[in-house]
């Protein structure tokens, strides 16, 4: 009997073993193919990065070499600097450096990109490069030479020793210290040297982009955990403070804040974020399941208006509306002397199953209101500003608005809403000089979302 069973089972076991070996071999081949592909992508990104940083150095030199009156050549050089820097930033993002501190170099390239772009788009015949900007270019030329040299040193080691980027990924994922890897050490050296470069005067427009919003800049007395509980209870209309848990975030840092988690009935939860200074609400979320859509955008707008009025945000104007996954999102801005203040924006999310507000984001509104922006009078009349529009543009409405331009400067503009070529747009015309500051396409225009 055993012989008979063996005669039957042995061939089956043999077939299963062969099948397992074949499957394992195929899996291993597929895994190796994926690893080789990833390694090739990492190698390409790294060598392209080294090439583009060297090219950046050359292009900065070319820009400095032209005559100061050759504004066309200067603009061409700055555009090339912006393009090359953007490519270098993209290549850094393709490398497995998420866990590796390389932020100083990334910020350095980001500032070069912003500086070159904003300088190139302005009229250099009317506003040529200043002495300070030329000094910046010389410093950047010198600094980029050092970065290029260091990256090429890493590149030589990678090629000479046949180093693999997959080993970098493994080393970064490992919790063992210290990290011992030639590529990692090379990038750390580059980042350390970049951090030691002299601080440049990038001008107010560039610096404002990197001006971190610290809660220390907000006015008001620091609130306590108990104070946050009371604010959360009042906002959510929940009298049971025992159902409110408060967490302190970023203690001792410039980002100190509180998060209040509120548990309600029927498995509903609320989350509210407050700044430590002044106890300003910057974020609100009502977590619940949302059913099928049964509320129109008009009704959702009314519910959002009612919510803001009841919660202490009166007089805000909706300027845009978006709808996704049965949630309507309105963007509101404040108004001063009849002028819309776009930087002071606040978004409200409305569930379209019953019109209930399920979220609010107010960080821009809170921080910008502390600046107390002053609104000036327009130099151009409405009729004068209208002349700068495309003759085929079909105007539907117009209003004054304070916006931020590409240089992060707050400017007064005429906002013209209308259509051209079958699409709807908002066009912002500078109320001082008639420049077209911004054009925004309205993909899903809702008449109730852009009330005048």
Q: What is the pLDDT of residues 157-215, one digit of tens each?
A: 777 777 776 666 666 555 554 444 666 667 777 777 676 666 655 554 444 544 445 55
The answer to whether residue 73 scores a pLDDT higher than 70 is yes
The residue-averaged pLDDT of 262-289 equals: 87
By the 8 A CB rule, do 128 and 71 touch?
yes
Tell me how far apart the alpha carbons of residues 318 and 348 are, in angstroms, rounded to a whole number.
10
Residue 27 CB coordination number (10 Å): 10
265 vs 19: which has the higher pLDDT:
265
- Secondary structure string (H, E, C) spanning 256-311: CEEEEEEECCCCCEEEEEEECECCCEEEEEEECCCCCCCCCHHHHHHHHHHHHHHC
Q: According to the model, what pLDDT value does residue 237 have?
A: 86
Cα dihedral across residues 202, 204, 206, 212: positive or negative? positive
DSSP run (H or E) holding 107: helix 103-121
Cα dihedral across residues 90, 91, 96, 99: positive or negative? negative
The CA distances from residue 227 to 178, 238, 276, 277, in Å, are 44, 14, 10, 12
DSSP β-bridge partners for residue 268 = none
**Bond preceding residue 178 cis, omega within 30 of 0:** yes
By the 8 A CB rule, do 398 and 384 touch?
no
Answer yes or no: CATH 3.30.310.160 is held by domain 217-369: yes
Of 242, 278, 251, give the one whose Cα is nearest residue 260. Answer: 242
Predicted confidence band of residue 393 (pLDDT cuts 50, 70, 90)? very high
The residue-averaged pLDDT of 49-62 equals: 88
Q: According to the model, what pLDDT value does residue 281 have?
A: 92
237: alpha, beta or left? (left if phi > 0; alpha if psi -120 to 50): left
Q: Which CATH class is domain 382-444?
A: alpha beta
Predicted confidence band of residue 452 (pLDDT cuts 50, 70, 90)? very low
Tell me how far apart the alpha carbons of residues 66 and 68 are, in angstroms, rounded to a whole number.
6
CA 430 to chain centre: 25
Q: How is the chain split into domains, by residue range? A: 2-209, 217-369, 382-444
The CA distances from residue 444 to 151, 242, 297, 415, in Å, are 47, 44, 12, 18
pTM over 0.75: no
SS3 347: strand
**Tens digit of pLDDT for each residue in 86-114?**
888 888 877 776 555 566 777 778 888 88
256 vs 336: which has the higher pLDDT:
336
What are the phi and psi torsion angles at 87 (to 5°)? -65, -40
* Pairing outcome for strands 244-249 and 257-263: antiparallel
Tokens of 242: 């025992």
Tell me how far apart the alpha carbons of residues 410 and 434 are, in angstroms, rounded to a whole number.
15
The residue length of the chain stands at 452
By the 8 A CB rule, do 173 and 83 touch?
no
Tell me how far apart the alpha carbons of residues 58 and 133 are, in angstroms, rounded to a whole number.
18
Residue 163: half-sphere exposure toward Cβ, Cα within 13 Å: 24
Of 349, 440, 348, give the one whose Cα is nearest residue 401. Answer: 440
**Tens digit of pLDDT for each residue in 30-51?**
565 666 777 778 788 888 888 8
**Tens digit of pLDDT for each residue in 396-416?**
999 999 998 876 788 999 999
Tell me how far apart the alpha carbons of residues 428 and 416 are, in angstroms, rounded to a whole number.
6
Tell me how far apart the alpha carbons of residues 92 and 100 are, in angstroms, rounded to a whole number.
12
């Amino acid at each position: 009997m055993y012989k008979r069973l063996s005669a039957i089972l042995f061939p089956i076991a043999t077939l299963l073993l062969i099948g397992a070996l074949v499957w394992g071999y195929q899996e291993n081949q597929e895994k190796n193919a994926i690893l080789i592909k990833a390694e090739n992508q990492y190698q390409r990104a790294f060598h392209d990065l080294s090439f583009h940083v060297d090219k950046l150095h050359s292009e900065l030199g070319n820009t400095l070499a032209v005559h100061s009156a050759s504004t066309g050549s200067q603009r061409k050089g700055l555009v090339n600097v912006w393009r090359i820097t953007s490519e270098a930033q993209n290549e850094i993002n393709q490398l497995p450096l998420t866990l590796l501190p390389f932020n100083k170099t990334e910020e350095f390239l980001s500032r070069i990109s912003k500086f070159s772009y904003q300088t190139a788009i302005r009229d250099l015949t009317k506003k040529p490069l200043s002495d300070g900007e030329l000094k910046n270019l010389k410093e950047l030329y010198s600094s980029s030479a050092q970065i290029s040299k260091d990256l090429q040193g890493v590149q030589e080691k990678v090629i000479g020793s046949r180093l693999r980027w997959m080993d970098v990924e493994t080393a970064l994922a490992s919790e063992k210290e210290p990290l011992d890897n030639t590529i990692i050490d090379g990038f750390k050296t580059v980042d350390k040297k970049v951090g030691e470069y002299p601080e440049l005067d990038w001008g107010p427009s560039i610096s404002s982009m990197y001006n971190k919003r610290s809660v220390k800049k907000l006015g008001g007395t620091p609130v306590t955990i108990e104070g946050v509980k009371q604010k959360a209870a009042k906002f959510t209309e929940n009298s049971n403070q025992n159902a409110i848990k408060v967490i302190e975030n970023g203690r001792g840092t410039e980002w100190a804040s509180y998060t209040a988690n509120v548990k309600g009935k029927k498995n509903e939860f609320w989350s509210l974020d407050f700044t430590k200074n002044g106890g300003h609400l910057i974020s609100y979320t009502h977590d619940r399941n949302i059913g099928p859509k049964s509320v129109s955008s008009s009704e959702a707008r009314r519910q959002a208006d009612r919510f803001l009025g009841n919660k202490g945000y009166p007089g805000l104007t909706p300027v845009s509306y978006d709808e996704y996954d049965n949630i309507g999102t309105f963007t509101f801005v404040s108004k001063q002397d009849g002028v819309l203040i776009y930087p002071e924006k606040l978004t409200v999310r409305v569930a379209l199953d019953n019109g209930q507000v399920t979220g609010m984001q107010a960080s821009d509104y809170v921080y910008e209101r502390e600046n107390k922006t002053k609104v000036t009078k327009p130099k151009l009349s409405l009729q004068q500003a209208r002349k700068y529009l495309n003759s085929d543009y079909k105007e539907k409405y117009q209003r004054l608005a304070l916006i931020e331009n590409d240089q992060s400067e707050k400017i007064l503009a005429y906002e013209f809403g209308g259509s051209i070529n079958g699409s709807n747009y908002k066009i912002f015309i500078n109320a001082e000089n008639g420049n077209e500051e911004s054009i925004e396409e309205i993909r899903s225009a809702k008449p109730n979302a852009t009330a005048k």
